[in-house]
Chains A and B, each alone.
Chain A
Amino acid sequence: MQIKESPDVYDVIIVGSGAGGGMAAKQLADAGFNIAIVEAGPFFDPADPKTMTQLKWPYESPRRGAGTDRPFGEFDMAYGGWQIEGEPYTHTEGTKFNWFRSHMLGGRTNHWGRISLRFGPKDFKGKTRDGYGEDWPIGYDDVKPYYDKVDKLIGVFGTNEGLPNDPDGFFLPPPKPRLHELFYIKGAKKSGVPVIPGRLSMLTKRINKDRGVCFYCGQCSRACAVYADFSSGSCLIFPAHKNGGKIRIYVNSVVREVTTNEEGKATGVSYISKDDRKEYKLKGRVVVLAASACSSARILLNSNSKQHPNGLGNSSDIIGKYLHDSTGASSACFVPDLMNRKTNYNEDGVGGMHVYSPWWEDNSKLDFPRGYHIEVWGGMGMPNYGFGFNHNAFNKFFGLKTGGYGPQLRDEVKKYYGSVIGFGGRGEGIARKDNYCEIDTTTVDQFGIPVLKFNYKWSDLEVRQAKHMQDTFEEIIHNMGGEPIWGGKPGKDRDYGLETPGNIIHEVGTTRMGNDPKTSVTNKFNQLHDVDNVFIVDAGPFVSQADKNCTWTILALSWRASDYIIDQLKQQNI
């Protein structure tokens, strides 16, 4: 079979259309360059009625929202999941990493939680702070102008609190707290845990004429048809196109490798079309990888050549190393004071928390480095599959029987509706060389591309952080007069509920940046040390991840790298 080569030469080929790829496409297209976006999944527009799940009722589906074909429920807007048929990944025995992929235009930004946090000054200088990990080659001041621009371009609500490591920004006004959030505020403050308005990228106020304003359906995970929340397609790629940008999108096109010439420079990519299962080649002056941290590492490692026998950009042998996810531990409780709620008002709110707790402690007094923040959930949500399961389980807290049948079931369901509050601690794990992904030479996917093998273990530091999370949750639950559910507080035997690596879905660090080409993969502009016309704009170049969800920083750094690419292309340096 012959590989088909397209005669066009693009200025820039972008692989992947999620947060990183979308931002690069927007900036580079706005600058007038001729762009190709190569995306493994299908076209997707949140406003297309055929694929839309927003405002659907559970009874419109025969399975009433159950998660059989989509892991976060069938109305969730991710085409993919923890496992994708025909695209396996493997593990070193005794280790585990759960890898969540979503293949569609916009990637995981169609259903992400929209929690949009800047890193603070300390977060770029981890090693200086406590000796663990490595410092970034850049600092907050380098990224701040880009965070500011991202805030204004995309929109994020929140408040300027003047906190030292949770910087202020250009915020839209936040929505008022819901009832359970008022309980949380009260309970947390009693223990000295600060609570401030959430910071999420939904438009509580208009930011331009093209995007709508939030109408509080609480369903951002289904992707917003009026473009009032951030998805890469609706907020970056479509506007860039509308702006007259020269953008060609190749969908259902799985990039296999970056192609190179005799000098070892990138010449473009080769990809497999899912439609006809044939391999094609595209030529470009610059290749920008944004396939998500692990996928981009995989593409580079699979791009072997005479000049790059170890994989493209991998002379350091660092690609895949320092993979890290956020730590996570969770808890939930039943709060008797939230029983017997009036249901005569709509409290869906935005599709996420209206309040949260940024990290508040001084690590010098603790037995682990780095912090975590607390996310809160609860309220009178829309019933979906699973609603009413063990409907009167909380009877046990009153010494009453659980189970039964008959007319009183209706009263019991209503009595307990909206009386649960849940917490997610999301923290920083230390990036380590011995946590990595690599190519599994024994296994290929359905396109014949060698797959990733993961090797990841938490250390005691992360376990101790999870213990701190659980102790905090326990106190707050007590303060609210709540009763822990989910089998109570997990102890040491269960690593204090520390989630399996990967579960928090913040994969970062596989192609970390640095000044030294021996210990890093890219320079501080996300450019491969080894090959100057290849850039990585997903979270691969992260040196560490902070206790801040990573996407706002992906967006800021992708914009920053794009400015550098524009400059270098104009100067004809690449």
Chain B
Amino acid sequence: MDRRESIKALILGTGAIGLGLQGCKNVNDDPLLNQEIAVAETYFGRTPEELERIEELNEEQLFNEHELETIAVLSEVILPPKEPFGGPIEADVPNFIEFIGKDMPKLQYTLLGGLMWLDHEANTAFGTDFKSTPLEQQKQLLDPIAYYDAEIPMKVQSLGIQFFSLMRNLTLTGYYTSELGIKDLGYQGNQPNVWDGVPQDVLDQHGVAYDPEWIAKCVDQSKRGVIAEWDENGNLLT
């Protein structure tokens, strides 16, 4: 499969949501607590009305195949893939942008218009559409719209800048909210934890320290499974 074919194969998958239930997750690997919660692996807590709306949106198609491919190509220019974290296509960014464009209709003109404008620019300069021009020529087209003046409100900047800025925002958000992007970022949360303060090397790196008096009042994590009892003045006894 050449690059273009593989892009097509990756982005034209369905966005359907399965409702497969369910596993159990031990949320504290800890004999003190040993608490378990039931989890539904492929379900993300929608109400029936919300699910219906998602299904309706999935049935619509905002971008045609050419536009989706252009989005895919552009997103990979914006954020080139990197081993082992992949890139926007592997993170399903084009389908995410397709969905968001339908979910937030106010973005549609900028996206649809921006894509046509980009092809127009490519055709004028190089006689071909954007996705078919070599990377070097794509960069020539993008350089004038890739930077913006942070002091000027985005909505009064040129369409090209607005379009590219939106594409960059959606590409980054799509990538960094994906499994791959979260790995690349290094985010360690969203899982059971026992918070016991900032590691010493991090404190040192940023030049701060804990006040021993403050820390003395904080939770002793070895006793968190023991039921709280107080004296009549509110002093914790356990």
Which A residues lie at the B interface, using CB under 8 A?
42, 47, 49-66, 68-69, 74-75, 79, 148, 152, 155, 157, 159-160, 168-179, 182-183, 185-186, 197, 204-209, 212-213, 215-219, 222, 225-226, 337-338, 341-350, 380-391, 393, 395-396, 401-407, 409-410, 413-414, 417
Contact = CB atoms under 8 A, between A and B. Distances in A.
B9 interface: no
Nearest to B227: A206
A155 to B, nearest CB: 8
A59 B179 contact: yes
A338 B102 CA distance: 37
Nearest to A62: B99
Interface of B: 15, 17, 21-22, 25, 27-28, 33, 35, 37-40, 42-45, 47, 50, 53-54, 57-58, 77-80, 82, 92, 95-96, 99-100, 103-104, 142, 146-151, 161, 164-165, 168-169, 172-179, 181-182, 184-199, 201-203, 205-211, 214-215, 217-220, 223-228, 230, 234-236, 238
Chain B interface SS verdict (over half)? loop
A345 B199 contact: yes
Contacts of B230: 152, 170
A403 B219 contact: no
5 contacts: A49-B21, A155-B228, A177-B210, A182-B208, A405-B78
A-side interface mostly: loop
B35 A338 contact: no
A404 B161 CA distance: 11
A205 B228 contact: yes
Nearest to B173: A388
A388 B225 contact: no
A197 to B, nearest CB: 7
Contacts of A64: 96, 173-174, 177
Given A182-B210, A345-B202, A382 B189 contact: yes
A179 B103 CA distance: 36
B169 A171 contact: no
A405 B50 CA distance: 35
Which of B54, B100, B218 lies at the interface centre, i.e. has the most chain A CB atoms within 10 A of its CB? Answer: B218
A393 B40 CA distance: 38
A383 B182 contact: yes
Nearest to A104: B47
B43 A50 contact: yes
B58 A407 contact: no
Contacts of B53: 69
A205 B184 contact: no
Contacts of B173: 64, 383, 385-389
Nearest to B221: A204
Given A50-B45, A68-B104, A402 B150 contact: yes
Contact of B169 (A204, A342, A347, A390): A390
Contacts of A381: 189
Contacts of A401: 147
Nearest to A401: B147
Nearest to B219: A173
A348 B208 contact: no
B193 A215 contact: yes
B228 A172 contact: yes
Contacts of B205: 342
Given A170-B234, A176-B218, A179-B198, 9 more contacts: A55-B39, A55-B191, A64-B174, A176-B215, A182-B209, A219-B190, A387-B173, A391-B168, A405-B79
Nearest to B199: A345
A177 B146 CA distance: 39
A204 B219 contact: yes
